Amino acid sequence: MGKQIRIYLADGTSTGIRHAEITNWSGQALACPRPRFSELKDWGEIKRPGVYFLLGTNEESGEDAVYIGESEVVLDRLSAHLTGKNFWSELIAFTSKDDNLTKGHVKYLESRLIQLASSANRYQVTNTASPQLPALPRADKDSMEEYLISVRALLGVLGHRVLDPYTQPAHTSAFADSKAPMQPQQGEIKPPELQPETFVPVLFALHIGGISATAERTDEGLVVLAGSEAITNAQGSLSGGYRALREKLLLAGTLEPANGKLRLTKDQLFSSPSQAAAVLVGYAINGRDAWRLKDGTTYGDYEQKISSDLLKQLTEEK
C-alpha cells in the first residue's frame, strides 16, 4: 500500500532541520544535524515522549553506527548525549502529534527498534544492552507495531535504512526454486512490514579461482550473502577504490580469514555487480559476465532480457 509523505525543510535546505510526517499518521519525525542542535529548543515536537536515533560513524571501523533511545521528554535526554556520545553527526526523533504515547509505549518502541536494527545488520548498534519488552495490553502492542511501520518508512526517506534488512530474511538455498515461496525461519525477528510471502529473490552465483559466492539483486544494488568467499590477496589490477573498500571490509571484520580464503560474515551491499565481483576475486573483472543465474544466464543477459521484454510490451500496447 502506498504512502504519502510530507517533509518540511525548516530553512529551505535538505541539510538543515527537517520535519517529516505521513498522511493520516499520528506520529512525526524530526531530523537534525548535530551542529544545529541548539535550534531544537524552538521545536515543541521534540519536547514530548518518544524514541530517537543518534547516527554517525564508528571511528575505528568506519562502519555506520547508531544509538537508539527513548525518553518522556526527548529533548532533555538528547541534551545529555551532546557531550556523552561523540560518534553521532545526526539525530532523528519520533514523537506523537497527540498525547497518546506513554512511557510504556516508548519503552516498547525502544526495545523493538534495537531488535530490528540489530537484525537488519546495516548499522553497528552501539547500545550496550537490549531492554526487555514491557508488558502492554494487546491493543497497545498492535498499535506500536503499526507505529513501527511508519518509523521504518520515514527513516529510509530521511536517508537511514537502519531497520531494513539488505535482503529477505530467509534464504532456503543458494538458488531458490522459482515457484517456491520464501518462508520466515523459526525464531527470526520480523521487520514491521515485509514483502509478500510469495516473493522469491533473484539470486546469482560467482565461481572463480576456487571461491564461491551468492548474491541477490535488490533495489539498492547487488547484495552478496553472508558465507560467500573471497580470494585472500588482491592483485595489482584492482582499482584503488575497490582496494580501499576491500580493506575497509577486512578492518570491520566483514571479511575474515577462513580455510585459506576470506569469508563474508554478513550480507554486504555493493553498488554494482562489477564492484562486488572485483572485491571478491581481487582484480578487475566484468561482473555483468561473472555473476550468473542457476541456468547459466549472465547478469548482463538477464537485464537485457528485462529491457527487451519491456520494449516489446510497450510496442504491443501502441
pLDDT digits 0-9 by tens, 274-293: 999 999 999 999 999 999 99
Cell of 243: 582496494
Q: Express as a percent the part of the chain with pLDDT over 90.
A: 78
pLDDT in tens, 26-82: 999 999 999 999 999 999 999 999 999 999 998 887 889 999 999 999 999 999 898
pTM recorded for the entire structure = 0.81
Quickly state the pLDDT bin for 192 (edges 50, 70, 90).
Answer: low
Q: In whole angstroms, give the CA distance from residue 85 to residue 144.
A: 28
Query: Cβ of 140: how many Cβ atoms within 10 Å?
Result: 16
| Residue 27 bridge partners (DSSP) | 96
State the Cα–Cα distance between residues 51 and 28, nearest whole angstrom: 11
Q: Longest C-alpha distance within the chain, in Å?
A: 63
Residues 94 and 49 sit within 8 Å (Cβ to Cβ): no
Banded pLDDT at 310 (limits 50, 70, 90): confident
Q: What order of strands is seen across the sheet that includes strand 261-264?
A: 229-230, 261-264, 255-258
Residue-wise pLDDT for 193-204, tens only, equals: 544 455 678 999
